[in-house]
Structure 1
Amino acid sequence: MQAFLKGSSSQSVKAQKASSSSSSSAGEKKQKAVPWVEKYRPKCVDEVAFQEEVVAVLKKSLEGADLPNLLFYGPPGTGKTSTILAAARELYGPELYRQRVLELNASDERGIQVVREKVKRFAQLTAAGTRLDGKPCPPFKIIILDEADSMTGAAQAALRRTMEKESRTTRFCLICNYVSRIIEPLTSRCSKFRFKPLANDIQQERLLQICGKESLKYTTEGIEALVSVSEGDLRKAITYLQSAARLHAEQEITEQIIIEIAGVVPPKVIETLLQISYRGTFEKLELAVKDMIDEGYAATNVLNQLHDVIIDEKLSDKQKSVITQKMAEVDKCLADGADEYLQLLSLCSVIMQQATHST
């Protein structure tokens, strides 16, 4: 009887283990769902969109030519990090990639201590070994410093010496948004490449590819709205697309859905505000601005969209210059943390003043 109980208990334990392992494997499958930005990141240099000069240089290095130290700069979401990661994967293959590539985000680790310890230690390692697939492997490692414009001046100065000493075994790739924040001795040691904001047709093509692979329903206006809202930032466009697909599953992705997700102020709201500024009273203007703030629209978004509309309005050049000068002042005040309601009201009152002068 005891033997039977032992056997049954051991079987139940095995069953529990089996069920837990199956549930954990199912959990692992669920966890493998990655953001589309990572899922559709270029796997090779040829997949990089719109950056011809950089792609040409990297292709030459993949063919066997030496690779210089690189400095990639440009707006966010234009493919800087994706490009060097794709090139590194092609150079080293999946086996050697982890041994040969050190990726650091300088916005997190930006002090001189990181350069002295992590960077210097990795740079001093010799680059031995060959690829398992038999392809030629370059005799150097790559250190990628993302957000390098966030590094302190002392850390950048320390990096200069490491770049010189370890030039035989290590190549550096600095990635930043503002090249003016990188010290001159570093920029002179690197080949500089500017990444341009992606053209609308390039973005549209990539977004349509993703829609096809994910079997999404969409309207032409919806895709055009994605492109205009992202302003050349493909990463932002893909993120908005994924959000729209998750929030409105089985529905067509329309312009209205994209405007809601992106937090853009609806064009009708901007138009109404301008009409009140042109023809309404100050009391009505106060209410309109208050309603807009209460609705949760960001003042910076309202400002940017007002700017685009004012430029196309039928106003004289002098009126436009007065309004845009006020916009610049309001933008500065908002950046300094001023009250959004008062700043927008101040701007709209200037628009109202200019409109009354014209009439």
Structure 2
Amino acid sequence: MNKESIFRQLEQRIAGRALTAEALGEFNAMAIADSLKQKRSIISHHLNNLHREQRVVKVNGRPVLFLPVTVLRDHHRLAVRHGEYASIQALCADRQDSLAQLIGAQGSLQEALRQCKAAISYPGAGLPLLLRGPTGTGKSFLARQLWHYAIDEGILPADAPFTVFNCAEYANNPELLTSKLFGHAKGAFTGADKAVPGLIETSNGGVLFIDEVHRLPPEGQEKLFHFMDNGSWRRLGESADERSATVRLIFASTEDLEKHFLATFIRRIPVIVKILPIAERGQFERLAFYPPLFFRREAQRLNHDLALDGEIVSQLMRETLEGNVGGLENLIRNICASAWTFWRT
């Protein structure tokens, strides 16, 4: 039993648990040693090495708890700025800015995040925000993190909805696309046998993320910029008084703005942020994408320790990836599959 195996055990066991003393009571050296049928001295040695490597955090008490930093940061959104805490309560109080842990938050994304924070926190319904960048650069992930940020900062209530709509799924049916966004009245079109609210309505009080917005037809863009101007709209087929809602709008697109959008629509989006592809980020940021995100996942899938040598890292740094994060994940999976096949034979 080596320290990597112990670390994976910690990650797997803590998944889904509440951060309370009762739920985490078994994360001490003696309990871990008993469950793994190992000597306590061996487990303590490995846990202390993991602590020195800043991969686990200590929560002092009787007994001392050892918790994996990755899960605390990624799933519980804690900052974990210290190696030791006096209690679980002190650990939970060390919450992170939902955006501060993003790769590039202090580099290529610094100005973009400043603009995004300004847009999401602007009084009223915020400012409409458009995220531009190639496929796989993290636009959808950033939109969700902005929602978390708004809740953490008290800009939105804890139960504020986050709704995702991809225009590409309905690009060949403009009427249905418009209906999905704005809803429709009974009898508005063939098959509309009852009134149905749209996503604008069901997203009231929260965030609506509209992906591939360049696939929105001109009439849909017109209805949307009317909503951005007035906070009101009508369902498809309605002629009664307009409805109203307060919704923070985040759009995403991979395409050229002038070719795919009405000028009147773009003028109503005051914050347009470009997200750089991985290949255009600095070396430190590119390196940060690799082991933490995907190799750990493949190690868990294979139930086997993985070690990176310098040649593999150099190869990854040289790659120009199609699909960015998606392309990176496929490349790393390919590397792991080759290593796994070689190891088995």
TM-score by length of 2: 0.49
Q: Larger strand proportion, structure 1 or 2?
A: 2
Find the structure with the greater CA-based Rg. 1
